[in-house]
Structure 1
């Protein structure tokens, strides 16, 4: 079975997946600003949830979120372009990554209130669709940024 079909041949919960699955990672040579930005945003949102319950863990989440945003911004590129064999037919990551960088930055701003992240978001706005976005999607998060 082609690697890209393994996930799609199993329609159950991830925790029940027992088959071998190849892992891929974004690197400086194979960037994925869209993936890194999305994970950065998720970590920032999680840090808000854990801020009162476990401040040490919340701070770890924020530190990793900051690292991922820095990586996404410095080593720009789409996941689909770095891994075309697995992404083209199934995991198409969209046509831009700027919205995920802005999404990561605005969540970091919400978690830290540090102006540099608001400024980063505002600097990314011109790269996104003009006007109101009609929906929030897995490959297009500019509606959430706006």
Structure 2
């Protein structure tokens, strides 16, 4: 196992990867960099960068450059190393992954419910604003109770 940083070199400069990633070997680090390139290319184009001038600088745990992966490497038509098969997870690890999936689903459901509640609250606030505006009208006593009396110019205005 090795620890690698994936620094991003653009025409503007170097964006350092401060977090890094543990990979079984340099080949896997290379494949991970290649798999990230298409998404990053779209993002860089959106920010006005020319992705053909960009590259990943893969460094080891002591920040020594071990490989440079130009973004054009991903679009060239030549054979690439195959990705190693995914390791088999222990039952404990698989249980944790399953629990994480369930928690993610629960958070997404809660977020959707929160958004629905906020939408409903906004509708109620708009309705209450209309009701409050109408309640500013004057009321005069009639023989059988109170009745609203709209201002003379028919524009809703509060009583003086």
Larger helix percent: 1
Structure exhibiting the larger radius of gyration computed from Cα positions: 2
What TM-score do you get using the length of structure 2 for normalisation? 0.23
What TM-score do you get using the length of structure 1 for normalisation? 0.24
Larger strand percent: 2
